[in-house]
Amino acid sequence: MQLTFDIADEIPSALNNISTLVLALPHLQKATNMNSDVMINVGYFLSGVIDDIAEAVSQYAEKKLTEKREEIKKC
Does residue 71 carry a pLDDT above 80?
yes
For residue 67, the SS3 value is: helix
Closest to 46 in 3D by CA, of 57, 38, 32: 38
pTM of the model: 0.69
**For 3-25, what is each residue's pLDDT tens digit?**
677 777 788 888 898 889 888 88
